[in-house]
Amino acid sequence: MGVGVLKPAFANIIGQELARKILLKAVSGAKISQAYMFKGPAGVGKRTMALAFAALINCRAAGPDACGRCPSCKKFASDNHPDFMEIVSEGATGIKIDQIRDLKSKLAFPPFEAAHRVILLADIHNTIRRPEVANSLLKTLEEPPPDTIFILTVNEAAEVLPTIASRCQVVPFYALPFELVRQRLEAEGLEPETAAALSKISGGSLGRALAPESRELLSLRRQVVELLVYDLNGPLPIPELFRLTETCANLKEKLAYFFELLGLWLRDLMLFAIPDQEHRMVNIDLVHLYQARREGWQLAELSDKLQALSLAQKQLRFNCDRRLVCEVLFLRLL
Ligand SMILES: [Zn+2]
């Protein structure tokens, strides 16, 4: 993630006041749990918070935040502290049993230098649906080695095994306010219009807004919307439709995210068709395209279009041919 350039410290975290409060209180009261579960949407700062927390509890300066200058903080800043271990899930399958075994063999030894070794188990929601991995992880949490803190991250909707959840203090994370995301995107060097559009359509996920594919999808969304609001007096833009179908089909796994963006656009059109709802629209960079076609949209027709989209999303989940799904969808949206 692009935000990695900032030093791990609470001062550099945007939003997440409740999580910040819970963790800082634990540090100041010297009541640090042996296991935390950071629960919330993807890309809102769970890993960044884990790093800041690990840096703070190991900082030699003993201030209210990680100092960024002591030897421990410097290692966290270069993302290479020997006592911060990160176990990353691989796609839909989650963490593998071998990764847990490997972790256990490392935990048999004391920390290299840290007062508190921190183990980050990222995105474990898929992992804990698999009994052998869940049980192995549970045993580790039940008998934690001394000086070791576990941080498990899960997405907001995940159902977590009660046996695992009961071992952890749950720390809630939330979608970030659009304005905070927009400011950070501008600070990362994005043009104001792109930053504003991305902050809105990312749903308050900075990670999603900063992902390399987001800008690509943003530009494709514009092309598709331009196609869909084509000039009614001209010919049907069939060649352009096939070109965009091809491009969209080639998005592969990212196509589902792209369909979400189209859903936001259709929702915007519905808001646009209702008086005084324009302030709730998210595709603010496309409003001029709506203006030109204002008279064309009826709520009933838009509702048909939304249904066409949800059918396409369903077909995608059932692994239907992407090109065919896009072709049918675009023809129905036209
Ligand atoms: Zn320090």
Distance between Cα 60 and ligand 1 center (Å)? 5
Q: What is the pLDDT of residue 58?
A: 96
Distance between Cα 55 and ligand 1 center (Å)? 7
Amino acid at 168: C
The lowest-confidence range among 129-133, 295-299, 306-310 is 295-299
Distance between Cα 56 and ligand 1 center (Å)? 7
Contact 81, 112 (CB under 8 A): no
Distance between Cα 62 and ligand 1 center (Å)? 7
Whether 197 has a pLDDT exceeding 90, the answer reads no
What would the mean pLDDT of 173-194 be, rounded to a whole number? 92
Cβ atoms < 10 Å from Cβ of 198: 24
- Could you tell me the pLDDT band of residue 278, with boundaries at 50, 70 and 90? confident
What size, in residues, is the chain?
A: 334
Distance between Cα 198 and ligand 1 center (Å)? 34
What domains are defined for the chain? 2-172 (3.40.50.300), 211-333 (1.20.272)
* DSSP conformation class of 132: H
Distance between Cα 57 and ligand 1 center (Å)? 9
Report the run of H or E that residue 122 belongs to, with start and end.
Answer: strand 117-122
Contact 122, 47 (CB under 8 A): yes
Distance between Cα 63 and ligand 1 center (Å)? 8
pLDDT tens for each residue of 62-106: 889 999 999 999 999 999 999 999 998 876 678 888 999 999 999
pLDDT tens for each residue of 2-22: 444 578 999 999 999 999 999
Q: How far is CA 82 from the centre of its chain?
A: 26
Distance between Cα 37 and ligand 1 center (Å)? 24
Beta strand pairing call for 148-154 and 117-122: parallel
The lowest-confidence range among 17-21, 112-116, 195-199 is 195-199
Whether 267 has a pLDDT exceeding 60, the answer reads yes
Q: What is the pTM of this model?
A: 0.81
Whether 117 has a pLDDT exceeding 90, the answer reads yes
SS3 content of the chain, % helix, strand, coil (to 5): 60, 10, 35
Rounding to the nearest 10 degrees, give the CA dihedral for residues 19, 20, 25, 31: 60
Task: State how far the alpha carbon of 318 is from the alpha carbons of 69, 245, 312, 313, 329, in Å.
Answer: 52, 19, 10, 9, 15
What would the mean pLDDT of 201-214 be, rounded to a whole number? 89
Residue located via tokens 């089909």: 249
Q: What is the pLDDT of residue 236?
A: 81
